[in-house]
Structure 1
Amino acid sequence: MAMPQPIDEEEEPSTIEEVWERTPSYPGFQVEIIDGSLVVTPHGNFRHARLNYFLHTAFVEIAREKGWYLCHELTIHLESNHDRIEPDLVIMPPDPPTFGDSEVFGRGVLLVAEVTSRGNAIRDRFTKPRNCALSGVPLYLLIDPVDAPTAITLFSDPSDDGYRTIDRVVAGEKLRLPEPFGLVLDTASLR
């Protein structure tokens, strides 16, 4: 009688990055690494989609003028702690530095924007801005409709301690973005 051959089992992942790489995509969900943990969140609702549309239209003209790309569903590799985030909007130059075929280094983008919801408010308000700053993302823009009125916050001037400058307005007010944008974001339609 022949002895059964040992089953060749695939080696288990040893790092969170390997777990993330092997996690299949699920329609309606995004999978990120945030502060070393795997985080699975559902895509937003109608209000979230409307706010994403606002972001896209607010930047489409300057992106065309400057030859930049407006990207959704793009993975940003944060070098400071190896987080992988998928912001609601990423604005980047034509040839940013990449990590592999599917990730862009945070230091190579121009702006990361998030629209928060109750389930991810703490991460979007505090964790992601800190980690983006540590990885050299120049601007982090947050639209926060969780508590009325909707707040729009621009984090800029990244350092080893986070962003040095935080400008916040409420929906209906104007927010100035520094160069290379040099534009005023009119948030009247967010009221």
Structure 2
Amino acid sequence: MSAVLPKRDRKRPKMWLAEDSGVPETGRELFEALPELPGFRAEVIEGSVILTPVGTPEHANHAMLLYRALIPVMDEHGWWGYTGNVDVCLDGSRDPVEPDFVLAPSDCPRWGERELRSSGLIMVAEVVSKGSIVRDRTEKPRLYAAAGVPIYLLIDIVATPQTVTVHSTIDNGAYIALATVPIGSTVRLPDPVNLELDTSIFKG
């Protein structure tokens, strides 16, 4: 099942402003103060606001292909799937990120009105682009594990050969189980998803 959260409100909430100056002092405060930026995605990565262009149609299609592959699992469990356009609040740092794909229960806890709490998620996925190589391969696994996301799926379409990596089993704030396969092979998404994912869907 797909779901749409309320449109992100970029008006500057008082709760995030420095009491004296009204000037944003943290990445979170600056994120909240941003106006709508059509064509860009805003995230806070380790305290810094990162603006990246919205991905290409091919980039978005990979997230949609994953969504379609997970429809039977979503229907079975009543879970919701989001292909972008949903913010996730990372437990601990409270930094907001916007994964390319999010799998969550329908009653996933939220931070405020529209941000899903990371520890309530089932899985997130990122599709690597040339501009997100370091973030998606190195920074995001560390952030998602520390924030309690059970499964992180990395669809690396800029690698040679192209690969899919499943990060799972969190221990001491880090993923300790990694499975990497070339696109075209099958890889298992562990419980609670429990699905053999045919990665040939990402070819092309």
Q: Specify the code of the residue in structure 1 equivalent to 2:113.
A: D
Q: Aligned match of 1:60 in 68, 71, 93?
A: 71
Structure 1 stretches lacking a partner, 5+ long: 1-8
The reply to whether residue 130 of structure 1 matches residue 142 of structure 2 is yes
Residue by residue over 1:70-101, the C-alpha shift from the partner in whole angstroms, topping out at 9 and shown as x without a partner, is 01311111123232110011000011111110
Q: Aligned match of 1:149 in 161, 166, 178?
A: 161
The reply to whether residue 188 of structure 1 matches residue 190 of structure 2 is no
Query: Of the two, which has the highest radius of gyration?
Result: 1
Match of 1:5 in 2: none
User: How far off its partner does 1:18 sit?
Assistant: 1.0
Q: Aligned match of 1:25 in 16, 29, 36?
A: 36
TM-score, length of structure 1 as denominator length: 0.91
User: How far off its partner does 1:10 sit?
Assistant: 7.0
Kept in 2, the 8 Å contact 1:134–1:159? The answer is no
Kept in 2, the 8 Å contact 1:136–1:159? The answer is no
Instruction: Give the Cα–Cα distance (whole angstroms) in 2 for the partners of residues 113 and 81 of structure 1.
Output: 20
The reply to whether residue 89 of structure 1 matches residue 101 of structure 2 is yes
Kept in 1, the 8 Å contact 2:44–2:96? The answer is yes
User: How far off its partner does 1:179 sit?
Assistant: 1.2
Q: Sequence identity of aligned pairs in percent?
A: 38
Match of 1:14 in 2: 25
Over 3 Å counting, the alpha-carbon distance change for 1:25 and 1:159 in structure 2 is farther
Structure 2 stretches lacking a partner, 5+ long: 1-19
Match of 2:58 in 1: 47
Instruction: Give the Cα–Cα distance (whole angstroms) in 1 for the partners of residues 87 and 147 of structure 2.
Output: 14
The reply to whether residue 175 of structure 1 matches residue 187 of structure 2 is yes
TM-score, length of structure 2 as denominator length: 0.85
Instruction: Give the Cα–Cα distance (whole angstroms) in 2 for the partners of residues 31 and 91 of structure 1.
Output: 20
Kept in 1, the 8 Å contact 2:111–2:117? The answer is yes
Instruction: Give the Cα–Cα distance (whole angstroms) in 1 for the partners of residues 22 and 102 of structure 2.
Output: 35
